[in-house]
């Protein structure tokens, strides 16, 4: 009996070691670690181990690994078979999106990327259509934002989507007819304000909201956002120069010049410093 037990334990240890080596091989290749011991393991051997494991004791991590390996080898049909066995999860949706991409099904791929959600992939699609159809890009960005919020994603990710909605609206305002330009600028400001409310300690969102408010002629909000940004980031030459622009438009030239001197001392090449210099000429 002790001999049988010892043999069983040895067999189990050997089996686990084989599986671990195969797993390490996949991990090393995914992490691009050439020269490591796992990297030297034959990919075909590692796949054969996982296929045998899939037949004997299928598990989600096995199915996912085989699905990704099939995608890498250019076999979307096999990737689809493995992916459909996975339980509902972001990983399953992401693999199905990749399969749809390989099959030249961009609409289906986008829906799976939304379901995942794969922020980078959705954002690439938004950026691609933004130049030719800003309304559609804005709608996609809003869908992404709502999806992230529904999943209780970290507020910073939701804020970034709000900020990008503002960027789309602001760009459209630049080329829109005068009759609708104001509406686009207002939409941009609202999006920037939402981003700032979700991530109030980000100088990026505060400064963008301030610049948009100033551009819209809303000096009260612009001054508020510029001051908040300076409080959070005293080293922001753009925000300090922004306070100078607000002061100048209010007729306080001496104060604007003081802000300019202060901003120059931080970064004389900052964009808003140059804007303030031109306005003071």
> What is the percentage of the chain residues whose pLDDT exceeds 70?
81
pTM of this prediction? 0.76
Does the pLDDT value for residue 156 go beyond 70?
A: yes
Q: Would residue 160 count as lying in a domain?
A: yes
Torsion angle of C-alpha atoms 10, 15, 17, 21, degrees rounded to 10: 160
If one counts the domains in the chain, the total is 3
Give yes or no: residues 187 and 231 share one domain.
Answer: no
Q: What is the C-alpha to C-alpha distance for residues 32 and 40, in angstroms, rounded to an integer?
A: 12
- How far from the centroid of its chain's Cα atoms is residue 270's Cα? 26
**Could you report the per-residue pLDDT of 8-23, keeping only the tens digit for each?**
444 434 344 445 544 5
Pick the closest to residue 242 from 196, 213, 211 (CA basis). 211
Under 8 Å CB-to-CB from 76, ≥6 apart: which residues? 70, 98, 99, 102, 103
Under 8 Å CB-to-CB from 129, ≥6 apart: which residues? 136, 137, 140
Q: Would residue 112 count as lying in a domain?
A: no
Under 8 Å CB-to-CB from 179, ≥6 apart: which residues? none
Grade residue 3 by pLDDT with cuts at 50, 70 and 90: low
Specify whether the CB–CB gap between 256 and 244 falls below 8 A.
yes
Give yes or no: residues 269 and 231 share one domain.
Answer: yes
Average pLDDT value over all residues in the chain? 85
> What is the CB-side half-sphere exposure of residue 55 using CA atoms within 13 A?
5
Query: Residue 41's domain spans which residues?
Result: 20-73
Give yes or no: residues 230 and 276 share one domain.
Answer: yes
Q: Would residue 94 count as lying in a domain?
A: no
Q: Would residue 163 count as lying in a domain?
A: yes
Does the pLDDT value for residue 29 go beyond 60?
A: no
What is the pLDDT averaged over residues 130-152? Answer: 90
Q: In 203-281, which residue ranges form alpha helices assigned H by DSSP?
A: 203-216, 219-232, 237-249, 253-267, 271-280
Give yes or no: residues 144 and 194 share one domain.
Answer: yes
Residues 50, 52, 54: CA angle, nearest 5 degrees? 70
Task: Identify the pLDDT of residue 70.
Answer: 86
Task: Identify the pLDDT of residue 238.
Answer: 97
What is the pLDDT averaged over residues 239-256? Answer: 96
Grade residue 126 by pLDDT with cuts at 50, 70 and 90: very high
Could you tell me the maximum CA-CA distance found in the chain, to the nearest angstrom? 97
Q: Would residue 1 count as lying in a domain?
A: no
Give yes or no: residues 225 and 196 share one domain.
Answer: no
Kindly report which listed range (59-63, 180-184, 186-190) carries the lowest average pLDDT score.
59-63
Q: Would residue 15 count as lying in a domain?
A: no
Give yes or no: residues 238 and 175 share one domain.
Answer: no
| Residue 252 DSSP symbol | -
Grade residue 200 by pLDDT with cuts at 50, 70 and 90: very high
Task: Identify the pLDDT of residue 8.
Answer: 46
Q: Would residue 193 count as lying in a domain?
A: yes
Collapsed DSSP state (helix, strand, coil) of residue 34: coil
Give yes or no: residues 133 and 68 share one domain.
Answer: no
Give yes or no: residues 132 and 192 share one domain.
Answer: yes
Q: Would residue 118 count as lying in a domain?
A: no
Task: Identify the pLDDT of residue 31.
Answer: 46
* Domain containing residue 239: CATH number: 1.25.40
| Residue 229 DSSP symbol | H
Per-residue b/e over 242-265, b at no fewer than 16 CB within 10 Å?
bbbbbbbeeeeeeebeebbebbbe
Give yes or no: residues 132 and 196 share one domain.
Answer: yes
> What is the CB-side half-sphere exposure of residue 29 using CA atoms within 13 A?
17
């Amino acid at each position: 009996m002790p001999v049988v037990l010892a043999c069983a334990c040895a067999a189990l240890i050997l089996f686990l070691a084989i599986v671990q080596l195969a797993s390490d091989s996949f991990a090393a290749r995914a992490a691009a670690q050439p020269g490591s011991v796992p990297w030297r393991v034959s990919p075909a051997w590692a796949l054969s181990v996982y296929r045998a494991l899939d037949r004997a004791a299928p598990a989600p991590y096995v199915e996912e690994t085989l699905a990704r390996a099939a995608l890498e080898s250019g076999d979307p049909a096999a990737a689809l078979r493995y992916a459909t066995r996975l339980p509902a999860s972001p990983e399953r949706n992401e693999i199905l999106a990749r399969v749809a991409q390989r099959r030249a099904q961009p609409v289906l791929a986008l829906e799976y990327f939304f379901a995942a959600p794969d922020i980078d992939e959705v954002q690439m699609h938004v950026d691609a259509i933004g130049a030719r159809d800003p309304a559609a890009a804005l709608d996609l960005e809003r869908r992404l934002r709502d999806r992230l919020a529904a999943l209780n994603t970290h507020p910073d990710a939701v804020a970034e989507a709000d900020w990008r909605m503002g960027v789309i609206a602001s760009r459209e305002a630049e080329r829109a007819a005068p009759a609708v330009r104001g509406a686009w600028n207002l939409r941009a400001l609202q999006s920037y304000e939402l981003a700032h409310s979700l991530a109030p300690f980000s100088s990026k969102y505060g400064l963008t909201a301030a610049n948009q408010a100033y551009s819209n002629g809303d000096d009260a909000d612009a001054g508020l956002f510029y001051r908040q940004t300076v409080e959070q980031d005293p080293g922001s030459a753009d925000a300090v120069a922004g306070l100078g622009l607000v002061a100048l438009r209010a007729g306080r030239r001496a104060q604007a010049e003081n802000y300019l001197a202060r901003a120059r001392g931080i970064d004389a090449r900052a964009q808003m410093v140059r804007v303030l210099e031109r306005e003071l000429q």
